[in-house]
Amino acid sequence: MVKQTAGRDQLGDFAPKFAELNDDVLFGEVWSREGKLSLKLRSILTVSALVSKGLIDSSFQFHVRSAKANGVTKDEMAEILTHLAFYAGWPNAWAAFRVAVEVYKDDAGTDGGLFGLGTPNEAFAQYFTGQSYLKPLTDPRETIFLANVTFEPRCRNHWHIHHASKGGGQILLCTNGRGWYQARGEEARELLPGDVVFIPAGVKHWHGAAKDSWFSHVAFEAPGEDCSTEWCEPVDEALYGALD
């Protein structure tokens, strides 16, 4: 979580205790409990509560922007507000849509970029922090398996190693959004569309999206013998959080 200072910035002199509770407890403690509820789900709950109360003000715009940064796609936000309209009131939903349209007007990347989003990457979900999507591009029974992998904002895979007795490794062709790649012992490298990453066999590494952007790449294993993947620990939150 980014350290929240809005309370102190706006009310620090007038209501210091309220400012402290807002910044340190609500955002510093409650929102940081990602092990209980994900940031994405907390954003959905917050948006829903504010719409239900008709509180479509600057704080609502902040929370819609946060929802976008936490991985709520444009299509998901539209569906959330459509659903809420029948429970929270049609005028409230209309007001909320005006804010959401503005927040998502420059949205890009939620469709998976050049090759499309695909489906939730459920088979490998245990090795990812956050939601990823997979769209196979080739049939592995016929040729090298290529797949488009899309990461929602803040999503990244765990540290892992591609093993091979000969050749092997992995190649990433970056197609959309902004992301990161890091090999053990090296500085993280920012990834943008058009970047190519070759990861030799035996190198421990991770890759994923930036905090404020969706990210897509085509991934495939380089030809080799006795190829396998070893999944390791998740990327440390402090390490990831320090990346711009």
On the CB side of 60, how many CA atoms lie within 13 Å of its CA? 22
Nearest to 27 by CA among 51, 74, 59: 59
| Segment (H or E) for 196 | strand 196-199
Residue 196 contacts by C-beta under 8 Å, 6 or more apart in sequence? 171, 172, 173, 174
**How much is the pLDDT for 23?**
81
**How much is the pLDDT for 105?**
83
Please indicate whether residue 112 or residue 191 has the higher confidence score (pLDDT): 191
pLDDT in tens, 50-90: 999 999 999 999 999 988 877 788 888 999 999 999 999 99
CB neighbour class for 231 (10 Å; exposed up to 12, middle 13-18, buried from 19): middle
What are the structural domains of the chain?
Answer: 6-103 (1.20.1290.10), 113-241 (2.60.120.10)
pLDDT in tens, 13-39: 898 899 889 888 888 888 888 778 888
**Is the per-residue pLDDT at 205 higher than 90?**
yes
CB neighbour class for 200 (10 Å; exposed up to 12, middle 13-18, buried from 19): middle
Mean pLDDT, rounded, for 203-207 = 98
**How much is the pLDDT for 111?**
64
In Å, how far are 88, 106, 244 from 156, measured between CA atoms?
35, 23, 15
Q: What is the DSSP letter of 226?
A: S
| Token pair in block for residue 34 | 């990602």
pLDDT in tens, 125-135: 999 999 999 99
